[in-house]
């Protein structure tokens, strides 16, 4: 039986890569996006017609958007992959309260609400996969990204705690924690800044979205079933 996977943030670079990877691996996909519909349409063209069951638009910064998404999903959900999120650059002293609220809602409260909605059926069926895409900054922290580091740290803590709570029900909860990945989020860097970062990465290259997608694919596979509550670092040793 094909398993239905809800991918939240499927229109981003990493979300799209995960969607393409799982789309050729006998999964059926429900793809969420906020404003960027074009990558979703491109994914639908790249994948077999039966792979994408549904696309859902929602602003996950707002509780009403989360509730609308949950109500509009038409299929049973066997796995949730939470990729949605934005970075925030700047000094902590300059962060506006509205920016704090939006970052907390998008990275912390929204996944709480989504998982809480779909979790009862997973528990009833004694099976399920929950995977977060977090960040290495959630573990080690980053100057000028204090808010982002904080909410990613919250995701990591949620993964570890939730894994203990639902593990007895046959549900796996893990996270993939990327380092420097070649996405739009990092394309604001100057060439010198980029080269300086690469110089500190033992594998001497930036990470690719496919590196993240392949790790998610492994965590989705039954071969990874004894991995629980882990934050899998994809950093090239950085």
Choose among 55, 4, 58: nearest CA to 31: 55
Does residue 33 have an active-site annotation? no
- 43 neighbors 16 (Cβ within 8 angstroms): yes
Tell me the CB-side half-sphere exposure of residue 175, using CA atoms within 13 A: 28
Annotated catalytic residue within 27, 33, 82, 148: 148
- 49 neighbors 23 (Cβ within 8 angstroms): no
Choose among 146, 185, 163: nearest CA to 231: 163
Q: Exposed, middle or buried: residue 233 (CB in 10 Å: 0-12, 13-18, 19+)?
A: middle
Which own/partner pairs from 222-228 qualify as long-range (CB within 8 Å, at least 24 positions apart)?
Answer: 224/172, 224/174, 225/172, 227/172, 227/174, 228/163, 228/167, 228/172, 228/173, 228/174
Q: Exposed, middle or buried: residue 38 (CB in 10 Å: 0-12, 13-18, 19+)?
A: exposed
**Pair type for strands 52-57 and 171-178:** unpaired
Active site residues: 148
């Amino acid at each position: 039986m094909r398993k239905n996977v809800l991918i939240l943030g499927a229109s981003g670079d990493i979300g799209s890569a995960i969607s393409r990877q799982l789309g050729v691996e006998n999964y059926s996909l429900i793809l969420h996006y906020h404003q960027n519909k074009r990558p979703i349409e491109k994914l639908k063209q790249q994948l077999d017609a039966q792979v994408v069951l549904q696309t859902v638009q929602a602003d996950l910064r707002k509780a009403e958007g989360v509730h609308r998404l949950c109500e509009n999903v038409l299929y049973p959900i066997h796995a949730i992959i939470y990729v949605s999120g934005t970075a925030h650059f700047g000094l902590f002293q300059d962060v506006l309260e509205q920016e704090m609220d939006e970052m907390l809602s998008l990275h912390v409260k929204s996944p709480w609400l989504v998982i809480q909605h779909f979790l009862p059926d997973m528990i009833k069926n004694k099976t399920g996969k929950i995977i977060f895409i977090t960040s290495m900054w959630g573990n080690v922290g980053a100057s000028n990204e204090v808010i982002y580091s904080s909410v990613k740290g919250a995701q990591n803590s949620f993964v570890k705690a939730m894994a203990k709570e639902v593990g007895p029900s046959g549900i796996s909860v893990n996270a993939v924690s990327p380092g420097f990945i070649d996405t739009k989020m990092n394309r604001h860097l100057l060439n010198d800044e980029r080269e300086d970062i690469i110089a500190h990465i033992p594998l001497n290259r930036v990470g690719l979205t496919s590196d993240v997608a392949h790790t998610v694919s492994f965590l989705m596979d039954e071969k990874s079933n004894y991995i629980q509550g882990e934050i899998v670092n994809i950093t090239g040793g950085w």
